[in-house]
């Protein structure tokens, strides 16, 4: 029970740091500034629903994807650790990673549906979030997969509330508050990314040792 609780908290905090609901709320408010409150609600629901199904799909099919492309868990942890570390590093510098931000050249218009791209992908469910989800879900039993999905679903609900009350939240937190939160989440992400890298190196050595013994 203690291990399950610890994992649940770890997974949730990993997703929370990666998605950074407060900073993403500022992005959401900026991108939907020309929309009516009703349009903003529809955009928020659609974006978060799409992000949830994207992550849930990778959680459920993670092991199948590994087998299909002959990917090992150490390879995922090493590559995922690098992705997560890079996102955290950019956030520590006060910048948004290109992997989790919209292209600067894209002009958001009223006719363009921004809920799927760039909101769901890559802002909410970018490569770093996908790598984090697969790292937690594919490394354990089906229970780990369920915990990962539930943790992400909970975070989506929290993010939805932040989006719906976005303008008021941004006004209260202010630019300084968003900057502090972003850098704090960046620090957490760099640590998580480094931990994934260390675990990946450790697992890779074990994998090669086992292969050598088998020969």
- pLDDT tens profile 145-160: 999 999 999 999 999 9
Is pLDDT of 104 > 50? no
Average pLDDT over residues 53-72: 84
Asked, for residue 41, whether it belongs to a domain, the answer is yes
Share of the chain above pLDDT 70, in %: 87
38 within a domain of the structure (yes/no): yes
Q: Given a cut of 70, is residue 2 above it in pLDDT? A: no
> Would 28 be classed as within a structural domain?
yes
**Is 104 part of any domain?**
no
Residue 95 pLDDT > 80, yes or no? no
Cα dihedral 58, 60, 61, 67 sign: positive
pTM reported for the whole predicted model: 0.72
pLDDT band for position 105 (cuts 50, 70, 90): very low
Is residue 163 domain-resident? yes
Per-residue pLDDT tens digits for 5-33: 888 888 898 899 888 888 788 878 877 87
Number of domains in the chain: 1
Q: Structural domain of residue 120, as residue ranges?
A: 1-99+116-214
pLDDT digits (tens, 9 = 90+) for 106-142: 444 445 678 887 788 878 887 778 888 888 887 667 8
In a domain, 106, yes or no: no
């Amino acid at each position: 029970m203690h291990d399950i609780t610890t994992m649940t908290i770890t997974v949730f905090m990993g997703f929370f740091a990666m998605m950074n609901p407060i900073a993403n709320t500022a992005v959401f408010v900026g991108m939907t500034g020309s929309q009516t409150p009703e349009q903003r609600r529809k955009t928020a629901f659609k974006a978060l629903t799409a992000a949830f199904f994207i992550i849930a799909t990778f959680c459920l099919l993670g092991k199948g994807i590994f087998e299909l492309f002959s990917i090992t868990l150490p390879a995922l942890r090493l590559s995922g650790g690098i992705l997560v570390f890079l996102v955290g590093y950019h956030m520590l510098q006060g910048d948004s990673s290109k992997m989790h931000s919209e292209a600067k050249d894209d002009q958001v218009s009223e006719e363009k549906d921004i809920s799927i791209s760039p909101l769901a992908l890559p802002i909410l469910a970018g490569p770093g979030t996908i790598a984090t989800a697969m790292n937690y879900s594919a490394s354990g039993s089906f229970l780990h997969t369920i915990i990962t999905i539930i943790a992400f679903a909970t975070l989506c609900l929290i993010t939805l509330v932040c989006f719906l009350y976005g303008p008021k939240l941004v006004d209260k937190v202010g630019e300084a508050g968003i900057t502090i939160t972003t850098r704090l989440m960046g620090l957490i992400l760099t640590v998580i990314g480094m931990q994934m890298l260390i675990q990946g190196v450790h697992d890779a050595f074990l994998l090669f040792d086992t292969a050598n013994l088998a020969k």
